[in-house]
């Protein structure tokens, strides 16, 4: 694998972790939101990642080479929203219930820490690859 391919792989990982951080921030921002119906309640979202295998399939000589990651999509949680009895709330339904988001703040904070560390690891990989390239270039002087 070329040292230049490392930048592509690390770059795709950094993009994926940025999306993960953005989705996590959105979930945390809506953690305390309520709605008047279960269908209108905010549901946690989670990114789905997939390996970029198309490049390996198209180029069999790259077998064993680094493969980047792509965002396959963002899915909504299937968990039910939280139903709370709060009759004085302006969004309460006829029975006095409001429906809160199904976001678990502890899980989201864990996702945020994990995404941040993964992003930092990708930055370190790029930095190491850059240093190796610079040392290789300086050997020719």
Q: What is the pLDDT of residue 15?
A: 95
Q: What is the pLDDT of residue 2?
A: 67
Q: What is the pLDDT of residue 77?
A: 94
For each successive 10 residues of the chain (141 residues), what is the average pLDDT? Answer: 80 96 97 94 96 70 73 95 94 94 96 97 94 88 74
Burial of 118 (0-12, 13-18, 19+ CB in 10 A): middle
Long-range residue pairs from 52-55, CB within 8 A, at least 24 positions apart, any chain: 52/12
Q: What is the pLDDT of residue 95?
A: 94
Residues 6+ apart with CB under 8 A from 106: none
Q: Rounded distance, CA 138 to CA 99, Å?
A: 63
Q: What is the pLDDT of residue 62?
A: 58
Q: Scanning the structure block, which residue is given the tokens 């989705």?
A: 23
């Amino acid at each position: 694998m070329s040292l230049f391919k490392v930048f592509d792989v690390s770059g795709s990982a950094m993009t994926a972790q940025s999306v993960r951080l953005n989705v996590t921030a959105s979930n945390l921002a809506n953690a305390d939101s309520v709605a008047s119906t279960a269908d209108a309640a905010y549901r946690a979202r989670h990114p789905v990642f997939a390996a970029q295998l198309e490049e390996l399939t198209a180029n069999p000589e790259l077998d064993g080479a680094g493969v980047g990651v792509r965002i396959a999509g963002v899915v909504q949680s299937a968990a039910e929203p939280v139903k709370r009895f709060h009759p004085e709330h302006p969004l309460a339904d006829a029975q006095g219930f409001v429906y809160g988001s199904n976001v678990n703040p502890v899980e989201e904070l864990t996702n945020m820490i994990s995404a941040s560390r993964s992003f930092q690891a990708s930055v370190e990989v790029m930095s190491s690859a850059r240093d190796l390239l610079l040392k290789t270039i300086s050997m020719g002087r």
